[in-house]
Each structure stands twice: as C-alpha cells, then as structure tokens.
Amino acid sequence: MLTIVVITIIIAVLFDFLNGMNDAANSIATVVSTKVLSPFMAVLWAAFFNFAAVFFFGITVATTIGKGIVEPSIINEYVILGGLLGAIAWVYVCTRLGMPISVSHALIGGLMGPALLIGGPSAILTSGITK
C-alpha cells in the first residue's frame, strides 16, 4: 500500500506541474505579449499570486473537490491515482494540441471516471458538480 501512495504522490506532483504549465501560461500571456512585463517578471508575478491565493481565498475549492464531487466513502488511493492519470492524459493531449482547457475540470472529470466504475451513478454528487 505504501508503494501506491508514493506513486500517487509522484503523479500528483506531475499533475501540479502540468497545472502550472497550463494555467500560469494562460494568466501571463497577455502581459507578456503586450510587453507590459518581461517573461521572467511575469512568471515571478504568477508564482507569487498562485502561492498567495490560498491565504486570501482559503481551501474551499479543494474541499469541494475532495468531498463534494464523488461520494467520499468510495475514495481510496486507486480512485485518486486513476483520477490523476485521467486528468494528466487529458491535460497533456489538449495542451500539446494548443486547445484551451480547464485543468480543474479535467481533474473533476478524472475523479468521476473511477467513481462511476466503482460506485455507479450514485457515487457522483451532482450538487457538488453544479456548485
């Protein structure tokens, strides 16, 4: 079991890297293309505000994703690993094709897949999805 947890943590770090690669690029594209900020300063700007956001906005979104999308009783390390792998595959393909996507939506869809497989349609909490 420890091995799967370590693998899941490594995969989660990869997902976070892809999240930053996709979302940070979207948020700084305008200021770099208009030459308001240099690429280096824009990356520093994005890094600072991505880090500081949790102190201003809290963890409400993380709580909803953790407990409000799929039935918490069916979540185990395999559901999380499957969700991350599904989201990573979708984000990577879409980013390579230059398609604008939401990494958060990819994660939600990634979690819903294994939840449907394990718990059926009743495992999906529609109130959290429509929130």
* Displacement of CA 51 from its chain's centroid (Å): 15
pLDDT digits (tens, 9 = 90+) for 51-75: 898 888 888 878 888 888 999 999 9
Q: What is the mean pLDDT of the chain?
A: 89
Q: Which amino acid does the sequence have at 39?
A: P
pTM (whole model) above 0.85: no
Helix runs in the chain, H state only = 2-33, 39-57, 60-67, 77-96, 103-119, 126-129
pLDDT digits (tens, 9 = 90+) for 75-88: 999 999 999 999 99
